[in-house]
Every structure is written in C-alpha cells, then in structure tokens.
C-alpha cells in the first residue's frame, strides 16, 4: 500500500506497454563472488529479460559448458581410477600424449616445420599479388605452383595442431593467446574464401599485370598481417604470462580464471588432479 510520503516507484509515469526499465544487478562469477554490476534490461510487460540479457546469459552458459568439456578432455577422457577411487588425471589420454617424449617431439617438430613451408608459400603468393616478387611471371603460373604446397601444408598444420591442442585443451582454452589465435584463424579463413572467389573470376586478367588490382592487393596485405598474428599468438601460448593462474587482473578476466577454478573445483570431486 502506498503511503502519503512513499517515494515514487522507478519509472513512475512511464505507462507505455513494453517500456524498458534498467535495474542494476550484481553478476557473480562461477565461484559465487560478485564480479561487478551490469544493467539488466527487462520489459515492463511481465518483467521478461530483454534479448540482450538472454544473449548474455546464453553466452555465460556456453563459456561454462566449453570449460567443462575441455576439462573432461584433458583430465577424464581415458583416465583410470586410482587407489582412492577417483580418476587419475595423469593417466588420461591427454596426459599420456603430453608426457610422450617421442610422439610429442614428432608432432611439435612436424607442426613447426610445416608451418614454415606453408607460411613461405603463402608469403610468395601474396607478394606476387602486391607486385613485389615474380612480377614478370603470370600469376596463374605462380598460383598453380604454390597452391598444392599451401593446401597440403595447411592440412598438416591443422591435423598436428589439433593433436597438440588435445594435449592440454583445458589449459589452452583458458589462455587469451589461444583465443586470439582462433579469432585470427577464422579471419584468415574468411579472407581466403573471398580471395579464391576473386581468383576464379580474374586470374586471366591478373596474368597481364605485374601486380593485382587495388582490392586484391588489400586482401593480400590483410592475409600477411592475419597470418603473422596467427603465428605470433601461437608462440605466445607457451608463455605463463598469458595463462592462469596469473596475478594480472586483465589476464584473469580475459582468461576467465575464475571460471577455470570453478570447473576444477567441480571435477575435483571425481578426479585426482
């Protein structure tokens, strides 16, 4: 019941159906601790969350689910029970791959050497588009010579990269360098898709010019920058400064270290870590 001196309700006078109200709400980390405040936009009609709030909730749920899946791959898949009845994380398939001296060295060496071949072929192809090398050689000839090497190298890189990722999927997932690498790989794939569309349509015309038109040169330059970023972020994955645990508040947020701790606490009931 409203009293004479009662303060007005938030949004009083705004009686339009479906009017959106902003209410401050504390969001909590997977460990239950508040991590900050956000505006929770809800509809006046029934107090339903807005599409933005539902999307954010779905995003948080997906992040937690992926973290648990990565932990299952690293600590539980193939693991054997120990004397206490829990699964021994060091007996999982992921741990065995990481601890295998010969297989690990073979995978890593193959990945790095193939990356050098792949990056070299891609470099010459992009430089030809920019008109910096092989300007007197038809582009179609350069493309036919380098494309099998580029495609073959890419297939080997992906195959060995997935196996290397399987050795520490949970740790890599909570690593901002790995997340950035995935983003750059997606950008590189999109760039290659649009580039190949242009190659099929304009390859004959490019043979007559020492360098490609301006639009294709921009794609070539973008390709170089994106693949440099892929290689750089891949190299950064090995450094502890970009992974959890980390004293930097920025890295803790970007790596979702609180979510990582919550996942470890959850699986710790079943797994000896």
Taking 70 as the threshold, does the pLDDT of residue 213 lie above it? yes
Question: pLDDT for 165-211, tens place per residue?
Answer: 999 999 999 999 999 999 999 998 888 888 878 877 777 778 778 88
Closest by Cα among 116, 230, 150, 234 to 184: 230
Q: How confident is the model at residue 48 (pLDDT cuts 50, 70, 90)?
A: low
Q: What local confidence, expressed as pLDDT, does residue 162 receive? A: 94
CB atoms within 10 A of CB 164: 19
Taking 70 as the threshold, does the pLDDT of residue 28 lie above it? no
Taking 50 as the threshold, does the pLDDT of residue 17 lie above it? no
Range in 1-10, 169-178, 240-249 the model is least confident about = 1-10
DSSP secondary structure code for residue 82 in this structure: -
Mean pLDDT of the chain: 81
Q: How does strand 87-88 pair with strand 271-272?
A: parallel
Taking 50 as the threshold, does the pLDDT of residue 43 lie above it? no
Q: What local confidence, expressed as pLDDT, does residue 39 receive? A: 43
- The pTM of this model reads 0.74
Please state the φ and ψ torsions of residue 18, each to the nearest 5 degrees: 80, 10
Do 79 and 87 form a contact (C-beta atoms < 8 A)? Answer: yes
Give the helix, strand, coil percentages of the chain, each rounded to 5: 65, 10, 25
Question: pLDDT for 233-244, tens place per residue?
Answer: 999 988 888 888
| CA–CA dist 75, 56 (Å, integer) | 29
Question: pLDDT for 75-115, tens place per residue?
Answer: 999 899 988 888 999 999 999 999 988 888 899 999 999 99
Q: How confident is the model at residue 74 (pLDDT cuts 50, 70, 90)?
A: very high
Q: How confident is the model at residue 10 (pLDDT cuts 50, 70, 90)?
A: very low
Closest by Cα among 212, 222, 108 to 168: 108
Q: Verify cis geometry, omega within 30 degrees of 0, for the bond prior to 245.
A: yes
């Amino acid at each position: 019941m409203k009293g004479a001196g009662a303060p007005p309700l938030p949004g009083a006078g705004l009686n339009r159906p479906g009017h959106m109200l902003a209410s401050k709400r504390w969001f909590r980390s997977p460990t239950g601790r508040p991590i900050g405040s956000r505006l929770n936009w809800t509809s006046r009609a029934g107090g339903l969350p807005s599409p933005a709030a539902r999307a954010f909730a779905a995003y948080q749920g997906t992040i937690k689910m992926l973290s648990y899946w990565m932990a299952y791959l690293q600590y539980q898949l193939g693991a054997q029970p120990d004397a206490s009845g829990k699964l021994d994380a060091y007996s999982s398939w992921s741990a065995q791959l990481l601890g295998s001296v010969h297989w690990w060295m073979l995978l890593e060496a193959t990945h790095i050497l193939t990356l050098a071949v792949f990056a070299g072929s891609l470099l010459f192809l992009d430089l030809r588009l920019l008109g910096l090398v092989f300007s007197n050689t038809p582009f179609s000839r350069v493309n036919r010579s380098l494309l099998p090497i580029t495609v073959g190298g890419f297939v080997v890189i992906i195959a060995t990269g997935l196996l290397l990722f399987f050795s520490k999927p949970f740790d890599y997932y909570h690593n901002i360098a790995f997340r950035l690498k995935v983003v750059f790989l997606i950008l590189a794939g999109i760039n290659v898709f649009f580039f190949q569309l242009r190659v099929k349509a304009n390859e004959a015309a490019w043979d007559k010019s020492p360098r490609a038109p301006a639009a294709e040169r921009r794609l070539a330059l973008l390709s170089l920058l994106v693949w440099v970023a892929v290689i750089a972020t891949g190299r950064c994955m090995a450094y502890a400064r970009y992974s959890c645990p980390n004293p930097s508040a920025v890295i803790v947020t970007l790596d979702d270290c609180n979510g990582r701790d919550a996942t470890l606490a959850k699986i710790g009931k079943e797994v000896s870590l």
